[in-house]
């Protein structure tokens, strides 16, 4: 991976707020979070792991750049959020990147950019309702004297779609604001991945190799 010498130039200042919202949400759940930044043409993609179990989903938030700027670097989410705050205060769209860090294991295994198959467009209201019900169930399980971890895993690993979409993925989409972006999101699949996509980001999970039981929910 390489670092950028010149400041990263966003298309307009409001892109700074979009990125800051994403990083702020991430840091609520992982104060030591790292993010991998990659550019493709005039688009910046910010990758992060959401700490929801050992197989925590990956979240991706995109921003528009002021021209193509080649970049691939992993940095501290907290340090970059501080720079975004300074840029917002100054009203500038040029961002100085913090020092590169050695990326965590997940940062070396990102989902592919091409080869995705469209599965279905899903309305967000039923997805959000499924998450809310699961959070209520999880909180009740957390009060049990024993078996809390096993119960929690059983809840979040439940499938809500025949393609393998789980409540854990929906929870990640909820925590990162993905479900609030539009009336519907799009489900795509790859050989080893599933992706839930909104206008300005995605949540990606590994596809389970074994079939699982569904929730009996109707999400479409």
Cβ distance 144 to 151 under 8 Å?
A: yes
Residue 53: CA count within 13 A, CB half-sphere: 19
Could you tell me which of 97, 85, 111 has the C-alpha nearest to residue 19? 85
What percent of the chain clears pLDDT 70, i.e. is strictly above it?
A: 90
Neighbours of 26 (CB within 10 A): 25
Q: What are 7-34's pLDDT values in tens digits? A: 899 998 889 989 999 999 999 999 999 9
pLDDT value at position 218?
33
Distance CA 180, CA 193 (A): 23
- What is the pTM (predicted TM-score) of this model? 0.88
Q: What are 158-197's pLDDT values in tens digits? A: 999 999 999 999 999 999 999 999 999 999 999 999 999 9
pLDDT value at position 148?
66
* Domains of the chain as residue ranges with CATH: 8-108 (3.10.150.10), 117-206 (no CATH)
Does position 211 have pLDDT exceeding 60, yes or no? Answer: no
Distance CA 131, CA 114 (A): 29
pLDDT value at position 12?
87
Does position 139 have pLDDT exceeding 60, yes or no? Answer: yes
The answer for residues whose C-beta is within 8 angstroms of residue 90's C-beta and 6 or more apart is: none
Please state, rounded to an integer, the average pLDDT across all residues of the chain.
87
Residue of higher predicted confidence among 3 and 126: 126
The answer for residues whose C-beta is within 8 angstroms of residue 109's C-beta and 6 or more apart is: none
Could you tell me which of 99, 108, 106, 45 has the C-alpha nearest to residue 75? 99
Could you tell me which of 46, 11, 4 has the C-alpha nearest to residue 27? 46
Neighbours of 58 (CB within 10 A): 23
Does position 210 have pLDDT exceeding 50, yes or no? Answer: no
Angle at 18 between CA 116 and CA 13, to 5 degrees: 120
Mean pLDDT, rounded, for 207-212: 51
Does position 2 have pLDDT exceeding 80, yes or no? Answer: no
pLDDT value at position 220?
32
Distance CA 79, CA 8 (A): 15
Mean pLDDT, rounded, for 41-62: 91
pLDDT value at position 90?
84
């Amino acid at each position: 991976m390489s670092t950028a010498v010149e400041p990263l130039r966003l298309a307009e200042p409001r892109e700074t707020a979009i990125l800051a919202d994403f990083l702020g949400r991430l840091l609520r759940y992982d104060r030591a979070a790292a993010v991998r930044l990659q550019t493709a043409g005039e688009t910046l993609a910010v990758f992060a792991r959401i700490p929801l179990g050992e197989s925590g989903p990956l979240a991706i938030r995109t921003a528009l750049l002021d021209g193509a700027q080649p970049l691939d670097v992993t940095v501290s989410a907290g340090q970059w959020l501080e720079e975004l705050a300074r840029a917002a205060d100054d009203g500038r769209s040029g961002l100085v990147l913090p020092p590169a860090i050695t990326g965590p294991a997940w940062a070396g295994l990102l989902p592919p950019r091409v080869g995705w198959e469209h599965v279905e467009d899903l309305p967000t209201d039923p997805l959000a309702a499924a998450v809310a019900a699961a959070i209520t169930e999880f909180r009740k399980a957390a009060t049990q004297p024993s078996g809390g971890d096993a119960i929690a895993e059983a809840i979040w690993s439940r499938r809500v779609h025949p393609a393998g979409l789980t409540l854990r993925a929906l929870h990640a989409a909820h925590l990162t604001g993905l479900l609030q972006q539009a009336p519907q999101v799009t489900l795509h699949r790859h050989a080893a991945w599933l992706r839930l996509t909104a206008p300005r980001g995605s949540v990606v999970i590994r596809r389970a190799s074994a079939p699982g039981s569904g929730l009996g929910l109707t999400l479409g």
